[in-house]
Structure 1
């Protein structure tokens, strides 16, 4: 049977073979070396089971005890399909803010929370969504009109260049160009939009039409 000294030497050989990441404890065990600068291991945040009542139905949600009520709303949204902004979460007869933490509010494992739909918030959200959709649609329409106007404007410039050099152009081409510009102006008038973009494009089209008509007289 090897002596204690011999056993310790064998342990040291094992450590040397494993490399610098291993060490021998006072009890003689070979373990992974700990970083002296690293603090104690972080405490594990427990997962709790929250019972959420919605109408006559209970939903059990497993969530971190340090999560917010807003995160709970997102998990409920995935479960029942109700938008987080339309939800009201009530705990202990008090509506809880989305930014509030569950543990701070006293929510523990198996705590009961009540979920109700907020009709005012839902109506507001739907109005904002419709407004955003309308603005996006208007922006796409104006963008398409702008591209067409830019093409027509380049043709106006080309005709102007010909006239400035003393050349002549076909009158029918000028008439057709004016008609196309007027059509784009009518399209723009039909776009329901707010802000300066629509007005700027309208001004640009009107200017192009005026230039075309002025040059038509000269041609």
Structure 2
């Protein structure tokens, strides 16, 4: 009888002829290789698809002078447990160090494989080196975002100034006052130049979102200026039809006979 050797489990029986094993199990199909490198027997839910009930356990975690009782699936990972503890302790899961039976546990390790059972206790510490490394990376990222945000802030300030000019022209035109078309064209050109600057900003995350909002804002102003050009061209312009109607009305009025009102009645 051949066997498969495992560092932690000793000799695991292989399937005999016909698919049966010497241990009475389901052969090699009843075993699985975990991420930690351990060859373990498959859970009942894996061997029997109809049996999918995973037991829930309660573990008590000590953090400083406080204790946190967490209800979790027995087949969960320590990483999942860290995420649940993050909400209670305010400690980032990446900065957590969970110690169970005097041994730090990897986030990818399974609770049941480590021997965690209902009522088990473990201790939570701050992983100071990991926390410092993450904070340094966050600081670098914040500086990079600030450097990318500076050009966007300058463009936004310039667009705000152009927006005031647009508002003034809009009030004059819709108020019936004709403006020099060059003023409208110049404003469109200035907005187009800001649009080109925005297109040259390479960013991601929040900076990218703000850049997209400014692009839409500038495009909207340009569209409205095109409409103002049309309205401005109509002011003070008399069409041929309007002139013809006005001329006909004057001619008709000149041909009317004057009406004389008198109280002297003719006697027959």
Task: Please indicate the TM-score interval, normalised by the length of the shorter structure.
Answer: 0.3 to 0.5
TM-score by length of 1: 0.47
Larger radius of gyration: 2
Answer 1 or 2: which has greater helix percent: 1
TM-score normalised per structure 2: 0.39
